[in-house]
Every structure is written in structure tokens, then in C-alpha cells.
Amino acid sequence: MPPRPRAQNGAARSDAAPAGRGQPRQRVIEAAADLLAREGRDAVTTRAVAIAAGLQPPAIYRLFGDKSGLLDAVAEHGFATFLAAKHVDPDPQDPIEDLRAGWDLAVEFGLSHPALYTLMYSEPTRAASPAFEAGMEILMGRIRRLAAGGWLRVDEEIAAAVIHATARGAVLTWLSLPEERRDPALLTALRESMVAAVTGQEPAVRDAGPAGAARTLRAVLPEQTALSGAEQQLLREWLDRLASGG
């Protein structure tokens, strides 16, 4: 089933580190996130955030440098909140269903926190966020399990790009539509187009020739101990060429 959009637009709040909520930096970040969710990005001024956090405006500059630094911290807070909500099954029974579930979770987060989600993905430089990188590792783990099982029909990096593009596109398209035109069937169609683009109904090694076999072998290569580091590197170069069809 596709994610069900939620009506509320509350601020994302992480329960991962409740002890830090009393600290000035965390109070400011949560105050800014709350203003962002309730009133939009234009409402997140240094003065308004300082008042909401019970501080003087100069404290914002001491803690974050400027408003841009504050927004970067709020975006990182969003990535960390999303990461804390992810459930990671290291050995799912059905890797394709696991991929669907991960996609649904990402889209549901975006629909539940539209202003925060837009901030998180509004600038490419935020891709260097530690929480974003940790989330990417979870995604790449899902993709490698697909590859190791012979289900992946494209290169791992392309698969990651397709998954991200369809999830972001789903969220932004949904938010751009009038409420009366928001049909959950759109989310289902986008999710299934993603699944069809990156996976096969049968393991790829059965019908994709050398490219599918190369992707499968490349995914399990790090687990092998029979080859030296130099031999693994050389084999990986060959597998990369075969996987890309070169």
C-alpha cells in the first residue's frame, strides 16, 4: 500500500536525545523547526526564533553564524529525525517489499512535514549532512541486497538516483496539487514505476546476461577472502565494465 498522507503539518521532533532539549542550541533548532512547520520559511527570522527559544537574537549568531547556518542545522535536524524513524531489517524475507517499504516511509515523511522536507532538499550542499549520509548507507544496503540476490537490473548508483528522484518527485508533485486532486493512486504509480525501473520480477542473473551476473557478483565481492586486495580491485574494475554493458 502507498503511504497515507497525514493532515497535520507539525514540526518534526526527535526523541533520540531528549536530554539535549534544554540546551540553547537544541532549543533554537526546535523553535525554528516549529515556526517553519506552522508558518513557513519566511517566518523563520532570527528575531522570531530567538523569542520562541527564550533567547536574545545575538545568541543565534553566536550559535549558528547566521540565518543560513541556522537553516542548515534545522535541515540536519530533519535528516536525523527521519533517520531515527527508519526500521532497518538486515535480512528481509522479500528485498523488493523492503524497498517498497523504505520508499513509502520516505514519501510519508515528506507529506507529513512538507516545509521541513522542502528545506532539507532545497540545496545540494546539504547532501553532505552526516544524517543524510547515514540514510544513504541504509538505502545502499537495500540496493546491495537486491544486487546480491540477482534482483537489480541497473547499476547501484543509478538505482539510488532513481529511488531518490521518484520519492522526491512524488512528494513535491503531491504538494503542488490542489487537495481535491491528490489521488493516492499517483503515489502507487510512482512507487511501482520505481520498482519496475530498478528491479526485475525474476532475478536478473536469469535474463540479463553478463551485466546482471556482474552486478550480482560485485555486490557479494566484499565478503570474499580468497582474493587479495589488488585482485579484488582488478576484478571490481572488470565487473564495473560488464555491469555497465561496456
Ranges in the chain, pLDDT < 50: 6-21, 203-207
Q: What is the pLDDT of residue 121?
A: 86
Q: What is the DSSP string of 98-159?
A: HHHHHHHHHHHHHHHSHHHHHHHTS-GGGGG-HHHHHHHHHHHHHHHHHHHTT-B-S-HHHH
Q: What is the pLDDT of residue 20?
A: 43
Q: What is the pLDDT of residue 130?
A: 86
Q: What is the pLDDT of residue 86?
A: 79
Q: Supply 7's cell numbers.
A: 493532515
Q: What is the pLDDT of residue 182?
A: 94
Kindly give, in sequence order, each residue whose CB lies less than 8 Å from that of residue 63, ignoring residues fewer than 6 positions away. 24, 25, 28, 70
Three-state secondary structure readout of 150-174: CCECCCHHHHHHHHHHHHHHHHHHH
Note the pTM of the prediction, 2 decimals: 0.71
Q: Which residues pair with 152 in a beta bridge?
A: 199
Dihedral in degrees, nearest 10, Cα atoms 44, 45, 46, 49: -40
Q: Which amino acid would we find at residue 220?
A: V
Q: What is the pLDDT of residue 74?
A: 94
Residue pair 110/78 in contact (Cβ under 8 Å)? The answer is no
